[in-house]
Structure 1
């Protein structure tokens, strides 16, 4: 995996998840897809697979660039700022 410039700024340890799903999905009445944890703030949400693109929306609204898979057994990370795998 390559390091992105934002990885060094992530809190250690990772933030505690604020919930088990994306509030925007619940409000819209949709099922979250492929949950992600925002590593800056602990916000849990879906990936960009659904048409609503909640993951990109959270990045644009907050500037929080790095997510980690919140699915059991997965640890994949992605940086929305530079598109790298963290």
Structure 2
């Protein structure tokens, strides 16, 4: 099951970092639960179970609607606009 936002995604994106949440790292923090990657620009950010919730903040700041898990072995995607797995 997909959403209309998936069709607007680039064919591929590369993560802006593989070290962890880019926003936490920039602030000198290393306290995140799980990582997500924006499928519009490759920004890697922490999930809503993390103290700073940078993935959601990235959506609100950029308007990029779809992210995927950046955890090993996970392939699922989430659309913030539709509020569902896509």
Equivalent pair of 2:31/2:51 in contact (CA under 8 Å): no
SS of aligned partner of 1:52? coil
- Distance in 2, Cα, partners of 1:28 & 1:79: 29
- Distance in 2, Cα, partners of 1:55 & 1:18: 13
- Distance in 1, Cα, partners of 2:5 & 2:17: 24
Q: CA RMSD in A?
A: 1.3
Equivalent residue runs for 1:40-55 within 5 Å: 40-55=40-55
TM-score, normalised by the number of residues in structure 2 = 0.88
Equivalent residue runs for 1:1-86 within 5 Å: 2-12=1-11, 14-20=12-18, 21-26=20-25, 27=27, 29-86=29-86
1:28: Cα distance to partner?
5.2
1:23: Cα distance to partner?
2.3
TM-score, normalised by the number of residues in structure 1 = 0.88
Identify, as 1 or 2, the structure richer in strand: 2
Alignment gaps of 5+ in structure 1? none
Aligned residues: 84
Task: Give runs of ≥4 in structure 1 deviating > 6 Å.
Answer: none
